[in-house]
Amino acid sequence: MTEKRPETAPETSNAEDFTLREATLRDAATLDALWQAAGLTRPFNDSRQDIGFALSGPASTILLLEREGHIGASVMVGYDGHRGTVYYVSADPGLRHLGLGTRIMRAAEDWLTARGVWKLNLMIRPENEGVRRFYETLGYEVEERIVMSRRLGD
């Protein structure tokens, strides 16, 4: 699989210069490269499969902020009939602290609110604990829960 690296970041210091839109399958290579650059990909998760699945139905999507063909931030957002969830929250490493992360998270919240969802859960990997501050700035709180999972079909 050939990976497309994110193109050179546009000259800007304002998150409002970026346009919000929903991703399509044509964005897959660029999204994958952004997520790799943001340290979010893992060998046990097939991000291309994740992109295809998120874009395949009405309960989930991928939102992105774009300027001059360059994706500055993205979020995968969806709901399961009860809660909303976000994954792959990411801003281009060359465009951090401009407010892109905040804007894409608010866009995910708006997307869920428009569909009647009133609570958003998200997970932070233990090795990425520092990002807690980002979410706290946005009003998120830690809830003590144990997250369990099983890969179905195994």
Contact set with ligand COA (CB under 6 A): 38-40, 89-91, 96-102, 124, 128, 130-131, 133-134, 137
Residue whose CB is nearest to ligand COA in the complex, by number: 101
Q: How far apart are CA 109 and CA 128, in angstroms?
A: 22
User: Smaller CB distance to ligand COA: residue 33 or 89?
Assistant: 89
Provide the minimum distance between the beta carbon of 38 and ligand COA in the complex, in angstroms, as a whole number: 4
Q: How far apart are CA 138 and CA 102, in angstroms?
A: 7
User: Smaller CB distance to ligand COA: residue 81 or 130?
Assistant: 130
Q: How far apart are CA 66 and CA 73, in angstroms?
A: 8
- DSSP secondary structure letter of residue 41: -
User: Smaller CB distance to ligand COA: residue 9 or 29?
Assistant: 9
Q: How far apart are CA 56 and CA 114, in angstroms?
A: 19
